[in-house]
Structure 1
Amino acid sequence: MSRTVDLVVIGAGPVGENVADYAHQSGLSVVIVESELVGGECSYWACMPSKALIRSGAALRAAKRTGGAIPEDTALDPLKVLARRDSFTSDWSDDGQVEWLEGAGIELVRGHGRLTGEREVTVTAADGSTTVLTATHAVAVCTGSAALLPDIPGLSAVEPWTSREATGVQTLPASVAFLGGGVVAVELATAYRSLGVDVTLVARSGLLGNTEPFAGELVESSLRELGVTIVHASPTAVSRAADGAVTLEFDDRDAVTTAELVVATGRTPRTDDLGLETLGLEPGVWIEVDDQLLAHGSDWLYAVGDVNHRALLTHQGKYQARAAGAVIAARANGADVDTSPWSDHAATADHRAVPQVVFSEPEVAAVGLTAAQAEAAGIDHRVVDYDLGGIAGSSLHADGYTGQARMVVDEERGVIIGMTFVGQDVAELVHAATIAVVGEVPLHRLWHAVPSYPTMSEIWLRLLETYRSGA
């Protein structure tokens, strides 16, 4: 079979869906290609199931920090937590997502899509049949990323879990080791420990290395309090015994043996079997793009979301998708494309205004640059720190509230370029900071944004007061 449409989108995750939807709303005919489940990684193996696993434990700990509201020995029912997780993945059925595509007027072709020529995608279905799709205007690659397995002797042979197996678990192991110190490892270690699993976290150095140093330190301290064993070392070999147990060996410390091993050491682009070589591009690498998400050296190939390695976050990929869909439609309709920063056609926020929440214990919410990144960028900046636990709203929120906030200010322009919050339930604080960073709101104007009392948002007033005092 063969078809010709305006736009072909490879990958029907949240990113691909948004590219397709925004282009279609502007009058383009669109076909979206998917080899797995419509809805992608976030819906079934990442954001949604992981947060569902984390939330129950966070809620229970929060309740225990309110002066004896519930007995201290109250525990979770792991089976009910897993069942709630299943509800958020629709039991790994994409019927609802397919229904949304149909309602939006976007055609779905199931199978593995490969670039086979200029503006041409050949889709191979599970039964071996093929469909050749030709795009009159553009092809958008939205295939995302996969777990990266480091080069450790014996690792691949033990068939370790990745985040997919860890978030989709049906029977909890007695013990598990997480290899990595980033967001995925920290979040899932928190979830599994909350469900009663014996957890070991193996990280070469500190946790959450891309955040402010105090964030990783507070999270590590909390994980230890939860009973997580943290090992700062790199495995030299991995093996699995006849009984299924996995052993990690180290040069300078005792080995770690656990029922299962989860590798969470980074991501790799899903471009190895995409047909990039037909376009003179190297397969298996990240696709470099401009702020309109157009691949370098092409006038029709777009790469959106994780696959371009700009910001490996679902919300940021969807942001890129809105821009890409609008750009593709504008070019197809003969309209002008506004490439200036902060226009509808530019993913400007990718550079210095990316928000992220780590759903750890405690949560970490940040946007923009860290102090170290501001220093590396040569920006004349000032760092303002404040104890988040010293806010009235925080003390009401939880007994013994522990947290920290940091504001990074561009001294020349008098605007915030980075903000980090660490503490219980700080996720909802970060959007106000994102607005301040993106809007480049002057500090003298923020002084008039009065926080409600008694809420944790009063941290804004305390940070501004500290800045004004010169402390």
Structure 2
Amino acid sequence: MSDSAEDATERTYDVVVIGAGPVGQNVAERARAAGLSVAVAERELVGGECSYWACIPSKALLRPVIAVADARRVDGARDAVTGPINTAGVFARRNRYVADWDDTGQAAWVRGIGADLLRGEARLDGRRRVVVGTSGGGGTVLMARHAVALCTGSDAVVPDVPGIAEARAWTNRTATDSSSVPGRLAVVGGGGVGVEMATAWQGLGSSVTLLVRRALLPRMEPFVGELVAAGLEDAGVDVRVGVSVDALHRPDPAGPLIVVLDDGTRLEVDEILFATGRSPRTDDIGLETVGLTPGSWLDVDETCAVRDVEGQWLYALGDINHHALLTHQGKYQARIAGDAIGARAAGQPLDTAPWGAHAATADQHAVPQIFFTDPEAAAVGLSAEQATQAGHRVRAVDVDFASVVGANLYADGYRGRARMVVDLDREVLLGVTFVGPGVSELLHSATVAVAGEVPISRLWHAVSCFPTISEVWMYLLKAYRG
């Protein structure tokens, strides 16, 4: 059991996992729980994007900003908030949560479940065959008896606009591992990364301009983006909707960056962050050796086995199957796939699993997502528009949080909104959305209701504690009943 591959050797395992982020770790753990031997290959840090450049560091940066904003919304508490945020303290906190970008602990965890960890570039080399190369030129050939799981994640897309090279643009990685605050920061993109990083860096002291082509958080209910935009503007962010970047100029490498917008205006900033989408890390992992197209998203079945490869031995989990580019969804897929691999290896039918059939059903109808902006935005399932487009006969029920006592105790003048989307034919929830301070912890109750298809008649008997923000459930149900 070695952490490195030196000489060219060949080893055989039941399962080979490419990528040791949260998704790879979860599929490895489930395969080991089924009694299968597992090798995990990783080219960067064990723990992946989420642990070091995405979920963990971004939330570590955001939490102090949101905590201060929450205190300022409460009479008596706001008087105790004096002076700016201590950025050195925030960055030190971030560094603790990413273990100073040292993956020793996570590497030990992989070994602790009984899997072998190999460091290096891993590529498919034909059916059930993976080659792990090292910088020294050596390598190890891994043969998989039952499955190869691709868990390679995604990369930030940086648009090819004139001047992009001289701009030295930030991506999510720079935005979460930087330890200096730019005086002026332009953030391009209104998705989750864009709005969260605009929130964080404005709170840490940057003068932030958010440049959005269409709307903020466009995949959620329209009122979410509107309330998040209002919150950002209240915090001092210059939110510009309906614009895009035409060109970039940094005449002096040590000087400011000029951002030329498509409306003809010019913006002078110190740094620019592009949060304009993701691309799959599948361009150099040997897809061509099994008949797939390098650089493509991979189409998978309900167990996350790749459809275009015969034999159900190749699995694509997490971002690269393009179902939902969210860490928790990737981990969910990994648990489903790991159990399916174990069942197939044992010759067991998949529909007799003790936890239900080995199928990633929540990828279709119950995907939860939270954006830790101010106010927070949280949703699960379908929006009203998505449900209607899918052919459901629905009714959307809205509640303003101003009517909820618990919300107003949480924050004076609480501003937020909730919506549930009801399937009128079955009287179950297809989607639930919350936007407002502190709503992230409401979402799992909504996820249970949507994933479990709990009838409205039963939800009426799930009593919310008084006085909490969760009382919004009672108001939603009362509004539906009339």
Q: TM-score range by the shorter chain?
A: over 0.9
Instruction: Find the partner of 2:291 among 273, 280, 285.
Output: 280
The secondary structure found in structure 1 opposite 2:181 is coil
What is the CA-CA distance between 1:126 and the residue it aligns to? Answer: 2.4
- Quick check: 1:149–1:156 contact (8 Å CA) kept in 2? no
Q: In 2, Cα distance between the equivalents of 1:339 and 1:373? A: 32
- Aligned counterpart in structure 2 of residue 15 of structure 1, from 7, 13, 23: 23
Give the distance between the partners of 1:278 and 1:359, measured in 2 at CA.
41
Aligned residues of 2:181 and 2:205 also touching (Cα < 8 A) = no
1:113-128 pair list within 5 angstroms: 113-128=122-137
Matched position secondary structure for 1:462:
helix
Deviates more, 1:253-262 or 1:11-20: 253-262
2:404 to 391, 396, 401: 391
- Partners of 2:398 and 2:418 within 8 A in 1: yes
Asked whether the 8 Å contact 1:180–1:265 carries over to 2, the reply is yes
Name 2:89's counterpart in structure 1.
80
Offset at residue 231 of structure 1 (A) = 1.9
- CA distance in 1: counterparts of 2:273 and 2:187, whole angstroms: 5
With 330-339 and 268-277 compared, the bigger mean Cα shift is at: 330-339
1:53 aligned partner? 61
**Secondary structure in 1 matching 2:196:** helix
1:165-213 deviations in Å (ceiling 9; x for gaps): 1100022221211110100010011000110111111111211001100
How far apart are the structure 2 equivalents of 1:70 and 1:394?
17
For 2:233 and 2:474, the matched residues in 1 are separated by 32
Partner of 2:39: 31
Q: State yes or no: 1:424 paired with 2:455.
A: no
Which of 54, 77, 81 is the equivalent residue of 1:69?
77
Q: Tell me, yes or no, if structure 1 residue 293 matches structure 2 residue 304.
A: yes
Match of 2:333 in 1: 320
Please say if residues 326 and 344 of structure 1, whose CA atoms lie closer than 8 Å, have aligned partners that are also in contact: no
Match of 2:11 among 3, 23, 37: 3
Asked whether 1:181 is paired with 2:190, we answer yes
- Counterparts of 1:352-363 in structure 2 under 5 Å? 352-363=365-376
Q: Which runs of 4+ in 1 moved over 6 A?
A: none
1:208 corresponding residue in structure 2: 217
Q: In 1, distance between residues paired with 2:356 and 2:157?
A: 34
User: Which residue of 2 is the match for residue 238 of structure 1?
Assistant: 248
> What stretches of structure 2 of length at least 5 have no aligned partner?
1-8
Task: String of CA shifts for 1:342-398, please: whole Å, max 9, x gaps.
Answer: 834110000110000010010001000001101111110001000012201001001
| 2-structure distance, mates of 1:182, 1:244 | 29
Q: Is the 8 A contact 1:144 1:269 kept in 2?
A: yes
Give the counterpart letter for 1:179 in structure 2. V
Query: How far apart, in 1, do the equivalents of 2:93 and 2:316 lie?
Result: 34
Deviation at 1:268, TM superposition (A): 0.3
Q: Quick one: distance in 2 between partners of 1:185 and 1:361? A: 13
Give, as a single letter, the amino acid of the residue that structure 1 aligns with 2:267. Answer: V
Hey, what does 1:40 align to over in structure 2?
A: 48
Pairwise CA distance, 1:254: 1.6
- Cα distance in 2 for residues equivalent to 1:285 and 1:239: 32
Which secondary structure does the structure 1 equivalent of 2:434 belong to? strand
Tell me, in whole angstroms, the C-alpha distance in 2 between the residues paired with 1:411 and 1:180: 36
1:338 counterpart SS class: helix
Show the counterpart of 2:172.
Answer: 163
How far apart are residue 157 of structure 1 and its match? 4.4
Aligned partner of 1:337 in structure 2 is 350
User: 2:406 and 2:419 mapped to 1: Cα distance?
Assistant: 18
Gaps of 5+ in 1: none
Matches within 5 A, 1:142-157: 142-157=151-166
Displacement of 1:125 after TM fit?
1.2
Say if 2:292 and 2:308, in contact at 8 Å, map to a contact too. no
Partner of 2:234: 225
Q: Give the Cα–Cα distance (whole angstroms) in 1 for the partners of residues 290 and 111 of structure 2.
A: 31
Letter in structure 2 aligned against 1:240: R
Retained in 2: the 8 A contact 1:11–1:141?
A: yes
Q: Please name the residue that 1:458 is paired with.
A: 471
Q: Structure 1: how far apart are the matches of 2:182 and 2:239? A: 18
Q: Secondary structure at the match of 1:138?
A: strand
Task: Report whether the alignment pairs 1:252 with 2:260.
Answer: no
Give me the whole-angstrom Cα distance separating, in 2, the residues matched to 1:409 and 1:384. 8
- Which residue of 392, 395, 406 corresponds with 1:379? 392
| Secondary structure in 1 matching 2:359 | coil
> Per the alignment, in what secondary structure is the counterpart of residue 89 of structure 2?
helix
Closer, same or farther: CA 108–344 of 1 in aligned 2, 3 Å: farther
| Alpha-carbon distance between aligned partners in 2 of 1:69 and 1:250, rounded to the nearest angstrom | 41
Match of 2:383 among 370, 383, 400: 370
TM-score, normalisation: structure 1: 0.97
SS at match of 2:350: coil
Give the distance between the partners of 1:135 and 1:389, measured in 2 at CA: 57
Answer with 168-177 or 431-440: which moved more: 168-177
CA contact (8 A) 1:177 1:262 kept: yes
AA of the residue aligned to 1:441:
V
2:223 partner amino acid:
F
Cα deviation digits, residues 85-107 of structure 1 (max 9, x gap): 00000000001101111111111
Deviation at 1:339, TM superposition (A): 9.0
| Helix, strand or coil at the partner of 1:436 | helix
Contact 1:12–1:34 (CA under 8 A) maintained in structure 2? yes
State the secondary structure of the residue aligned to 1:236.
strand
Q: CA deviation at 1:462?
A: 0.6
Contact 1:339–1:346, Cα closer than 8 Å, also in 2:
no
Identity %: 53
How many pairs align?
A: 468
Q: For 1:156 and 1:177, how far apart are their aligned partners in 2?
A: 16
Structure 1 residue 159, shift from structure 2 partner = 2.6
How much has 1:246 moved relative to structure 2?
Answer: 1.8
1:468 aligns with 2:467: no
